[in-house]
C-alpha cells in the first residue's frame, strides 16, 4: 500500500515519519514543490539579522536522510498539478501520474498579496522560504538600503522589523488593523508599540497601504519593502478535487484530520483546526500546530485511530529583545465569542529582587460564570515561554482561577520569586471576579 504526501516541510514530513513508525511495510512517497525540505522557516528573520550565519543552518534534514534513515522516498522540485480522487492518482506538472492508496495533503500556505500596486517592484520582498530569505539578505548586502517599510504587524512583520533595524535601517511598519499579532488586544498592542518606539521603529496602525512606489510607501521614503500581510492556505488543488473548504478558507477536517474524501487527510498550514475553547473551526497557522497535525494525519493514514484535540493558539515571538507570548482568547475576543469575560493585568518581578530581577507583565482572562481561564499574555525578557506554557496547560485542562492561583510553582532566588507573576495575576483576577 502506498501513502502519498503532498508537501515536504513540517506537516508533510511529520506525517510521513509517523506513518513509517506505525507501518514498516508501507510504501511512502513525499512530493515537494520546492527544492528544499525540512527547514526551519521560523528562523528566517534571524538569518536576515545575521544571528544565523548561513541559510544551510536552517535545513534540518535532506531527502537523502529520509531515504537512508527512514525508508521514505522524497522527490523535490515536483509540483502536483491535480488530485484525481476517483482514480486515487495525482497528476504532476509534467504530466506524470502517481498512484496512491492514502493521501495526506500538506501543501502549506503562501504570503498574501493584497490588492495594492507595486508588489512586483524589485525592492519588494516576502520572507516565507529559504530562497526568499537568500534574495532579501543579498539585496541588503549588495544594495545597502537605508530606509525600509514593512507591510503587516503580525509575527513575521514584527520580527523582520527588528531584524532590519538591527542591520541599521530606518523602519516603518504599516498595519491595516488597529491591533498587532492578529490578536484583538489593545493592551498588548500598546505594549508592543512602546517596545518598537524604544527601538526607533515607527508603527502605524489602521494604515492600509494603497500602493508601493519605487522610492516611497505613502509618505514614507523606502528603498526596501517587505510584504508581511499574513498568509493564505494553498487549497487550489484540493478544491478542484472536490475536497471541502471550511469557512476559514482552509481545508475542512474532522478530529482525525480526514477530509470529506475517503482516504484523504490534510494537515498543517493548509488545514483548519478546532479551537478548544469555542469548538469552532479556526485558522491559526503555527509551526507547532503543523507538526502535531502532521503526526496525527500520518498515523491515521497508516491505520492508527488517533485524534487531534484542537488548538488554543499558543505562540511566542521576540519583539525588540522582549519575548511576547500569548495563548487562548483576549478579553475582547472572549466577549465576541459570548463569554462573560474578565481580565487582569499585572507587572511583577521575575526573580528575587536581590538577584537582578526584571519586570514581567502577565495578563489573564477568565469567564465570570464558570471561572475558567480563557487566555493569557506574558511579556518579559526571561522565562516568558515557560510561563505561557503553564497558562496554556491550565486552559487546556479547564482549570478555574482559584485552582490556578494555588499551583505549586518552584521558588529559588536565582530563578523565580516566592510569588510567581502568574500567581500574582491569578490573585488579582480572582478579586475582579468577586
Active site residues: 42
Cα–Cα dist 152/217, whole Å: 13
Q: Is 309 helix (H, G, I), strand (E, B) or coil?
A: coil
Sign of the CA dihedral running 423, 371, 274, 152:
negative
Residues 6 or more apart whose Cβ sits within 8 Å of residue 52: 43, 46, 58
Q: Is-contact 12 80, C-beta < 8 A?
A: no
Cα–Cα dist 229/124, whole Å: 13
Provide, for the chain, the percentages of residues in helix, strand and coil under a 3-state DSSP scheme, each rounded to the nearest 5.
30, 25, 40
Q: What are phi and psi of 345, to 5 degrees?
A: -125, 135
Q: Is-contact 229 111, C-beta < 8 A?
A: yes
Cα–Cα dist 310/305, whole Å: 16
Residue 279 corresponds to which cell in the numbers above? Answer: 469548538
Q: Is-contact 422 361, C-beta < 8 A?
A: no
Q: Residue 133: how many CA atoms within 13 Å on its side-chain side?
A: 26
Can you say whether residue 21 is alpha, beta or left, with left for phi > 0 and alpha for psi between -120 and 50 degrees? alpha
From residue 288, alpha-carbon distances to 59, 183, 276 in Å are 17, 18, 16
Q: Is-contact 256 300, C-beta < 8 A?
A: yes
Cα–Cα dist 229/247, whole Å: 20
Q: Residue 332: how many CA atoms within 13 Å on its side-chain side?
A: 10
Cα–Cα dist 290/317, whole Å: 17
Amino acid at each position: 500500500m502506498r501513502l502519498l504526501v503532498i508537501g515536504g516541510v513540517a506537516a508533510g514530513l511529520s506525517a510521513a515519519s509517523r506513518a513509517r513508525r506505525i507501518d514498516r511495510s508501507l510504501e511512502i512517497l513525499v512530493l515537494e514543490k520546492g527544492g528544499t525540505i525540512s527547514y526551519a522557516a521560523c528562523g528566517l528573520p534571524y538569518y536576515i539579522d545575521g544571528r544565523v550565519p548561513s541559510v544551510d543552518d536552517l535545513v534540518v534534514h535532506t531527502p537523502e536522510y529520509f531515504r537512508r534513515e527512514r525508508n521514505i522516498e522524497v522527490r523535490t522540485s515536483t509540483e502536483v498539478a491535480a488530485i484525481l480522487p476517483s482514480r486515487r492518482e495525482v497528476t504532476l506538472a509534467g504530466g506524470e501520474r502517481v498512484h496512491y492508496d492514502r493521501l495526506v495533503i500538506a501543501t502549506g500556505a503562501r504570503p498574501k498579496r493584497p490588492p495594492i500596486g507595486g508588489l512586483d517592484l524589485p525592492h519588494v520582498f516576502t520572507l516565507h522560504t529559504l530562497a526568499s530569505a537568500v534574495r532579501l539578505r543579498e539585496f541588503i548586502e549588495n544594495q545597502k538600503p537605508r530606509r525600509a517599510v514593512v507591510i503587516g504587524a503580525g509575527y513575521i512583520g514584527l520580527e523582520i522589523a527588528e531584524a532590519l533595524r538591527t542591520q541599521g535601517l530606518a523602519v516603518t511598519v504599516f498595519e491595516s488593523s488597529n491591533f498587532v499579532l492578529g490578536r484583538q488586544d489593545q493592551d498588548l498592542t500598546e505594549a508592543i508599540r512602546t517596545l518598537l518606539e524604544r527601538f526607533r521603529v515607527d508603527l502605524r496602525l489602521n494604515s492600509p497601504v494603497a500602493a508601493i512606489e519605487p522610492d516611497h510607501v505613502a509618505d514614507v521614503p523606502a528603498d526596501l519593502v517587505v510584504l508581511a500581510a499574513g498568509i493564505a492556505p494553498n487549497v487550489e488543488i484540493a478544491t478542484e478535487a472536490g475536497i471541502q473548504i471550511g469557512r476559514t478558507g482552509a481545508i475542512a477536517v474532522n478530529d482525525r484530520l480526514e477530509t470529506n474524501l475517503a482516504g484523504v487527510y490534510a494537515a498543517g498550514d493548509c488545514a483548519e483546526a478546532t479551537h478548544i475553547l469555542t469548538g469552532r473551526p479556526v485558522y491559526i497557522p503555527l509551526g507547532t500546530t503543523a507538526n502535531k497535525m502532521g503526526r496525527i494525519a500520518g498515523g491515521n493514514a497508516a491505520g492508527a485511530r488517533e485524534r487531534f484535540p484542537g488548538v488554543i493558539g499558543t505562540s511566542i515571538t521576540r519583539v525588540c529583545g522582549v519575548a511576547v507570548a500569548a495563548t487562548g482568547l483576549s478579553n475582547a475576543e472572549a466577549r465576541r465569542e459570548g463569554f462573560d469575560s474578565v481580565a487582569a493585568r499585572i507587572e511583577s518581578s521575575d526573580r528575587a529582587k536581590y538577584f537582578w530581577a526584571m519586570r514581567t507583565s502577565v495578563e489573564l482572562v477568565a469567564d465570570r460564570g464558570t471561572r475558567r481561564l480563557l487566555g493569557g499574555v506574558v511579556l518579559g525578557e526571561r522565562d516568558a515561554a515557560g510561563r505561557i506554557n503553564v497558562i496554556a496547560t491550565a486552559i487546556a485542562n479547564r482549570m478555574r482561577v482559584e485552582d490556578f492561583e494555588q499551583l505549586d510553582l518552584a521558588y529559588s532566588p536565582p530563578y523565580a520569586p516566592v510569588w510567581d507573576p502568574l500567581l500574582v495575576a491569578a490573585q488579582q483576577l480572582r478579586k475582579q471576579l468577586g
